[in-house]
Amino acid sequence: MNRTVISLGISYMMLALASAGLGQTPAQERPGRRPNPANATAADATGAEQAITQRQQHQRLQQQIDELKAAHQDLIAQLRAVHQTAVKEKAAETAAQVEALIGKRQEAFQNALVKLEQQQLQLQRAGRERPQRTGNAGQPRGKRAPEFEMSSFDGRTIKLSDYKGRIVVLEWVNPECPFSRYHYETLHTMADLATKHRDKKVVWLAVNSTSHTTVEANRDFAKKHKLPYPILDDRSGQVGRKYGARTTPHMFIIDTDGVIAYEGAIDNAPLGKQEAGAGPVNHVDKALTELLAGQKVSMPNTPPYGCTVKYAQP
């Protein structure tokens, strides 16, 4: 019993120390304080500097998220070890206290994680205000979609070249991300859209570039939501980096000529919070409707929102 009491005391201290830092963001991580360029007369220079600063802030937030997850996993492992010891020694009261601590810690972790990912989303939205570079004026807006070959989590081999002459939608997904889950659990955005356009030469493919995801997790997710399309295994991150996928979800539409006709967000309402002054718009549905009608996509780019893609370390 003494071992349990001592371990529980240590875990209480660890919990207090870890919880004290939850949700805190260093001042340099908060958007808004950007150095003024030396020659602010050039709009392109200003936009480039803001883009660099924004990327740095984004990277720092991602570092915070990774550190938060690592600390959380270590602490939960310690608490579970104490719980097992208490159960083994038949210390029911201690086991119940530790179990309650685990529940509280899980809740605090999720709240802190959502706050940090919301800050990342704010940085992504800030990109809307940044002047766009016009150095490629007059050039085609779309670029050719990189070829790929991936295995699906249900055992198939999928090649982009297999769908030549068809429209292909790529959806970057992460079943752990609240933004992805929203479009599957609260709404059925992705599955409904895929079904809506399935008989119109449209192929929908989900891609998971999360380095630590498992085959079982993706199979369970597909089964739970009855997905009418496969989830492709990009745990190496090679395909995601080729396409420049940054968030989950991040959407790409490849037209019948193999050109990326649309890239960006699924819609203009992250987690159902519609942008001020705008009506509800599903960007992917609109782009597909335009392509199927033989029209050019009226809005080929929008800033994607969501959790950052959890790539493997290079």
Asked whether residue 14 is assigned to any structural domain, the reply reads yes
Lowest mean pLDDT among 6-20, 83-97, 266-280: 6-20
Q: Mean pLDDT over residues 188-206, rounded?
A: 95
Check whether the bond before 230 is cis (ω within 30° of 0): no
Residue 248 has pLDDT above 70, yes or no: yes
Q: DSSP characters for 67-92?
A: HHHHHHHHHHHHHHHHHHHHHHTT-H
Pick the residue with more confidence: 121 or 145? 145
Rounded mean pLDDT of the chain? 81
Residue 181 has which token pair? 């889950």
Check whether residue 105 and residue 228 sit in a common domain: no
- Predicted TM-score (pTM) of the model is 0.61
- In the prediction, which pLDDT does 141 show? 52
Distance of CA 114 to the CA centre of its chain: 12
Asked whether residue 33 is assigned to any structural domain, the reply reads yes
Decide: 307 and 247 in contact? Cβ < 8 Å.
yes
90/94 Cα distance (integer angstroms): 9
Decide: 112 and 68 in contact? Cβ < 8 Å.
yes
Number of domain units in the chain: 2
Lowest mean pLDDT among 138-142, 220-224, 286-290, 302-306: 138-142
Check whether residue 239 and residue 302 sit in a common domain: yes
Which residue segment(s) compose the domain that 298 sits in?
149-270+277-308
- In the prediction, which pLDDT does 224 show? 97
Check whether residue 177 and residue 297 sit in a common domain: yes
- In the prediction, which pLDDT does 294 show? 95
Asked whether residue 143 is assigned to any structural domain, the reply reads no
Asked whether residue 244 is assigned to any structural domain, the reply reads yes
Pick the residue with more confidence: 243 or 107? 243
Q: Mean pLDDT over residues 292-312, rounded?
A: 96
Asked whether residue 39 is assigned to any structural domain, the reply reads yes
254/290 Cα distance (integer angstroms): 13
138/293 Cα distance (integer angstroms): 24
Check whether residue 166 and residue 303 sit in a common domain: yes
Check whether residue 114 and residue 175 sit in a common domain: no
Q: Mean pLDDT over residues 283-290, rounded?
A: 98
Lowest mean pLDDT among 49-58, 256-265, 301-310: 49-58
Residue 132 has pLDDT above 60, yes or no: no
Decide: 213 and 282 in contact? Cβ < 8 Å.
no
- In the prediction, which pLDDT does 2 show? 57
Check whether residue 157 and residue 291 sit in a common domain: yes
Decide: 47 and 130 in contact? Cβ < 8 Å.
yes
314/310 Cα distance (integer angstroms): 12
Check whether residue 18 and residue 94 sit in a common domain: yes
- pLDDT tier for residue 179 given thresholds of 50, 70 and 90: very high
Residue 84 has pLDDT above 50, yes or no: yes
Residue 134 has pLDDT above 70, yes or no: no
- pLDDT tier for residue 215 given thresholds of 50, 70 and 90: very high
Asked whether residue 139 is assigned to any structural domain, the reply reads no
Decide: 77 and 71 in contact? Cβ < 8 Å.
no
Beta strands at 251-254 and 260-264: parallel, antiparallel or unpaired: antiparallel
- In the prediction, which pLDDT does 240 show? 98
Check whether residue 245 and residue 117 sit in a common domain: no
79/102 Cα distance (integer angstroms): 7
Q: What is the pLDDT of residues 8-66, one digit of tens each?
A: 555 554 554 555 455 444 434 344 444 454 444 555 555 556 666 766 787 787 778 77
Asked whether residue 185 is assigned to any structural domain, the reply reads yes
Check whether residue 123 and residue 190 sit in a common domain: no
Check whether residue 121 and residue 187 sit in a common domain: no
CATH code where residue 213 lies: 3.40.30.10
Residue 4 has pLDDT above 80, yes or no: no
Task: Tell which of 96, 129, 162 closes a domain.
Answer: 129
Q: Mean pLDDT over residues 111-122, rounded?
A: 72
Asked whether residue 141 is assigned to any structural domain, the reply reads no
Check whether residue 114 and residue 61 sit in a common domain: yes
Task: Tell which of 129, 157, 186 closes a domain.
Answer: 129
